[in-house]
Amino acid sequence: MSFLMVVVVLLAVLVISALKVLNEYERGVMFTLGRFTGIKGPGIIVVWPFVQQMRRVDLRVIVLNVPKQDVITRDNVSVKVNAVVYFRIVDPGKAIIQVANAFDATSQVAQTTLRSVVGQHEMDDLLAQRDKLNVDLQRILDQSTENWGIKVSNVEIKDVDLDETMIRAMAKQAEAERTRRAKIIHAEGEQQAAQTLVDAAAALQKQPAAIQLRYLQTLADISHEKTQIIVFPLPLDLIKPFLGRE
């Protein structure tokens, strides 16, 4: 009778130890006698000791910080760039069977891809077209990790560090650009003002009476000035008869 009780207790302990609970965001990759036999979960599953083995896999989105990488851009500018990668496991079987450590492998691929993509662009593109670089990084990483059952959903370049010499050079370049734009705007203003004067002169030439009215308006403006000496122009039309006499 005692032997039967021992057997019952051992069977109970065996059954209890075979029960595993997987959360909603977890899956269990099952191996039976070393062979892959499927994916189970979530909920309560049975894993028979000594016969089956289970590897837990987290399906939630994982945030991976890519450390700063020393990169030389296409225009020979040395920069330090880091990024953050958002990915998750979509095929637990591949994530366990195809790669020894999916997280470390993704991190290494992200570092090499970051250096490669940034090195193909110029410094101005890195600063002004960061969204485009993020899309390129996400596409390349997603293709590289597809065989591992990993889906890269987003990649964001965080910081771009420059040395002091390059920062001063960029500041001088920006100042020169602002000066150039100011000169262009000034020249365009002068051109528009000159064209306006030409148009006004042509209009006055067509209407001689308008010239006289403009002359009278000028005299009226001068008369309001508080000065002892008044200098006013004399129209040539008034003195032409006297200039023709000998």
Nearest CA among 85, 93, 105, 84 for reference residue 149: 93
**pTM of this prediction exceeds 0.85:** no
Nearest CA among 68, 73, 94 for reference residue 83: 68
Q: How confident is the prediction along the chain (246 residues), in pLDDT tens digits per residue? A: 577 787 777 878 878 888 889 999 999 999 999 899 999 989 999 998 889 999 999 999 999 999 998 888 888 888 889 999 999 999 999 999 999 999 999 999 999 999 999 888 888 888 888 889 999 999 999 999 999 999 999 999 988 887 766 656 666 666 677 788 878 888 888 888 888 877 776 766 666 666 666 666 666 666 666 665 656 555 555 555 555 555
Bridging pattern class, strands 62-72 and 35-40: unpaired
Bridging pattern class, strands 62-72 and 52-58: unpaired
- pLDDT number for residue 162: 79
Q: 153-173: b or e for each residue (b if 16 or more CB lie within 10 Å)?
A: ebbebeebebeeeeeeeeeee
- Domain coordinates of the chain in residue numbers? 13-58, 62-167
Q: Which residues pair with 84 in a beta bridge?
A: 65, 156
Q: Count CB neighbours of 81 within 10 A.
A: 22
Fold of 62-167: Tetrahydropterin Synthase; Chain A (3.30.479)
- Whole-number Å distance between alpha carbons of 80 and 90: 32
| CB contact at 8 A, 108 and 60 | no
- Listed in sequence order, the DSSP H helices in 120-163 are 123-128, 130-145
